[in-house]
Amino acid sequence: MSIVSATKYYSGHSDVMGGSLAIKKRLFKQVELSQKAVGLRLSPDDAYLIMRGLRTLDIRLDKHQENTVKVANFLSKQKKVKEVFYPIKKNIKQYKMWKKYYSGSSGLMGVKIISKNKNSVIKFLNKLKLFGHGYSWGGFESLALYQDKLALGNRSYTKLSNNEHIIRLHIGLEDPNDLIADIKQAIKSVR
């Protein structure tokens, strides 16, 4: 079974809700019965918008990756950044697995910031001018979000000390140099 959110990169414009479910033939009748009972259907307009986005998916993904690599490299050199979670970076634990199964990456990354003051990390986010704030990703715009420790759950790779904070970034299609300049002016707030 494979579930994909068409709301994200497939659409690419943050203007549609949809998804896809790929299943083995033996499960089709069960899923069909459930879908008939619930009544979920993709509208023709949403289907059109997803098809529109699929036409440029490969070009957009290449640009998201290119921009994100530049931003990740910049962030890796910052004193207040302890770690950048991005699969294409050779120094991360999952690099070999990523390299084995994937040929590219997206615009989504995590950043572990060192600060004794959570409010200064929030201030950093609020000083960003080119990044929107939100959970969504896969659109053309860059987004930033503070990941609260409770929301992260009990995952081994995100064991955080009191001085460590996770920021989730989605790097969009803007000029990466502009995004880096924006991060550079805002990160001065982290104490």
How many domains are contained in the chain? 2
CATH number of domain containing 72: 3.90.1150.10
Q: Identify the CA nearest to 112 among candidates 137, 80, 142.
A: 80
Regarding whether 127 and 50 lie in a shared domain, the answer is no
Q: What is the pLDDT of residues 69-125, one digit of tens each?
A: 999 999 999 999 999 999 887 877 788 899 999 999 999 999 999 999 999 999 999
* Inter-residue contact 68 to 95 (CB < 8 Å): no
Residue 136 has pLDDT above 90, yes or no: no
Regarding whether 99 and 22 lie in a shared domain, the answer is no
Regarding whether 75 and 32 lie in a shared domain, the answer is no
Regarding whether 137 and 69 lie in a shared domain, the answer is yes
Mean residue pLDDT of the chain comes to 92
Q: 130 Cβ partners below 8 Å, 6+ apart? A: 142, 174, 178, 179, 182
Q: ∠ at Cα 68 (143, 124), nearest 5°?
A: 45
| Burial of 183: CB neighbours in 10 Å, binned 0-12, 13-18, 19+ | buried
Residue 100: count of CB within 10 angstroms of its CB: 7
Regarding whether 26 and 85 lie in a shared domain, the answer is no
- Which structural domain range is residue 34 located in? 2-54
Regarding whether 87 and 46 lie in a shared domain, the answer is no
pTM of the predicted model as reported, rounded to 2 decimal places: 0.91
Residue 140 has pLDDT above 70, yes or no: yes
Residue 82, helix vs strand vs coil? strand
